[in-house]
């Protein structure tokens, strides 16, 4: 089983103090790792370090035992797909053209996507139920749809691991839950998923691993059911929450009580 591992990652922006301190984490294929934490606590920075966007000050990231430092950008992108929070498209590519860009790691320097690449892109749009958007301009769809398109692109990359920065942030109530479903399906098909979230309850739905990031370090890592406790949530978010078993949903839930 291939694992995606971060050993003792530390990071600071130029002339800044440490944003991440000795982070250790490990994700196996087929599992979901949710990173929770308050705004500005380093979640996105951590994802950027893991996903090769930023180079850690110290520590090592490896995939299946091979350090990412020994991989080319292209080789890395065949293992890991990263979807950032928001980007601002300028050109009116069709959704299909954007999704097929996920095939870039397999095309070589001067290549263009082939028929088989378009087929993979079409499959991924089917999987995310966005095929009806295929010929629409990427500029004219909503922010939530764009998020799904970027996810389809990441899946078209056929990586081992998906790194998703707040994948539900621009989605409506229904699409949030549908996306969580998709992520769970994707994980059960063998992808490893690392994501950040602002919803502790979502990680209880996944029922996989959770890490709580606070001031640049994990203060608690483990199975969601054990990490999402009233005490932990109150400590980091400074609000009262209720973590209890819901008989109808047949799972633990985490709901805010208010201040």
Partner 1 sequence: MPRNSKKTRVIWICFFIYIIVFFISIGIGRYYVSIEDIFKILVSSVLPINQTWDPAMERVVLYIRPSRLFVGSLVGASLGLAGATFQGLFKNPLVSPDILGVSSGAGFGAAAAILLGAGAVGIQLSALLFGLLAVAAVYLIYKAFRSPNILMLALAGIIVNGFFSSALSLTKYMADPNDTLPAITFWLMGSLAAADYDDLMFMIIPILAGSFGIIFLRWKINVLSLGDSEAKALGVNVNRLRFLLVLFATVITAVSVCVSGTIGWIGLVVPHLARACTGDNHSRLLPFSCILGALLLIILDDISRSLTGAEIPLGILTGIVGTPVFALLLIRQKRIL
Residue of 189, 188, 212, 191 whose CA lies nearest to 200: 212
Among 21, 29, 78, 198, binds partner 1 (CB under 8 A): 78
Query: Smallest distance from the beta carbon of 174 to partner 1, in angstroms?
Result: 27
> In this chain, which stretch among 33-41, 83-91, 176-184, 218-226 interacts with partner 1, using CB under 8 A?
83-91
Residue in this structure with the two tokens 């764009």, named with its chain if needed: 146
Query: Smallest distance from the beta carbon of 19 to partner 1, in angstroms?
Result: 17
Give the C-alpha separation, 87 to 91, whole Å.
Answer: 12
Measured from the CB atom, is 139 or 249 closer to partner 1? 139
* Contact assessment for residue 218 and residue 24, using Cβ atoms and an 8 Å cutoff: yes
Provide CB contacts within 8 A for 130, sequence distance 6+. 95, 145, 148, 149, 152
Positions in 95-134 near partner 1 (CB under 8 A)? 96-98, 101-102, 104-105, 107, 109-113, 115, 118
Query: Smallest distance from the beta carbon of 111 to partner 1, in angstroms?
Result: 7
Segment (H or E) for 253: strand 251-258
- DSSP letter (8 states) at residue 69: G
- How far is the first Cα of the chain from the last one, in angstroms, to the nearest whole number? 44
Query: Smallest distance from the beta carbon of 99 to partner 1, in angstroms?
Result: 12
Does residue number 74 form part of the binding site for partner 1 (CB under 8 A)? yes
Give the C-alpha separation, 89 to 71, whole Å.
Answer: 29
* Contact assessment for residue 145 and residue 99, using Cβ atoms and an 8 Å cutoff: no
Measured from the CB atom, is 146 or 208 closer to partner 1? 146
> In this chain, which stretch among 38-46, 69-77, 201-209, 210-218 interacts with partner 1, using CB under 8 A?
69-77
Does residue number 43 form part of the binding site for partner 1 (CB under 8 A)? no
Which stretches of the chain bind partner 1, using CB under 8 A? 51-53, 72-78, 80-84, 87-94, 96-98, 101-102, 104-105, 107, 109-113, 115, 118, 135, 139, 153, 157
């Amino acid at each position: 089983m291939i694992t995606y591992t971060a050993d003792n990652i530390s990071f600071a922006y130029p002339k800044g103090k440490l944003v991440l301190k000795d982070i250790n984490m490990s994700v196996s294929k087929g599992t979901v790792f949710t990173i929770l934490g308050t705004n500005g606590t380093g979640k996105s920075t951590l994802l950027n370090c893991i996903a090769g966007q930023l180079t850690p000050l110290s520590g090592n990231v490896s995939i299946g035992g091979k350090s990412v430092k020994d991989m080319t950008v292209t080789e890395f992108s065949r293992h890991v797909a990263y979807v950032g929070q928001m980007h601002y498209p300028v050109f009116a590519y069709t959704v299909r053209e954007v999704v097929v860009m996920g095939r870039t790691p397999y095309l070589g320097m001067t290549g263009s996507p082939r028929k088989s690449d378009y087929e993979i892109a079409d499959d991924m749009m089917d999987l995310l139920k966005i095929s009806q958007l295929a010929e629409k301009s990427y500029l004219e769809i909503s922010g939530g749809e764009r998020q799904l398109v970027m996810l389809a692109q990441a899946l078209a990359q056929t990586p081992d691991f998906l790194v998703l920065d707040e994948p539900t942030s621009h989605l409506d109530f229904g699409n949030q839950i549908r996306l969580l479903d998709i992520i769970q399906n994707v994980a059960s098909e063998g992808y490893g998923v690392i994501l950040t979230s602002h919803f502790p309850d979502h990680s209880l739905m996944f029922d996989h691993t959770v890490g709580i990031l606070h001031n640049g370090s994990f203060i608690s890592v483990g199975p969601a059911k054990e990490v999402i406790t009233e005490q932990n949530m109150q400590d980091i978010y400074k609000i009262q929450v209720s973590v209890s078993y819901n008989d109808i949903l047949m799972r633990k839930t985490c709901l805010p009580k208010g201040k």
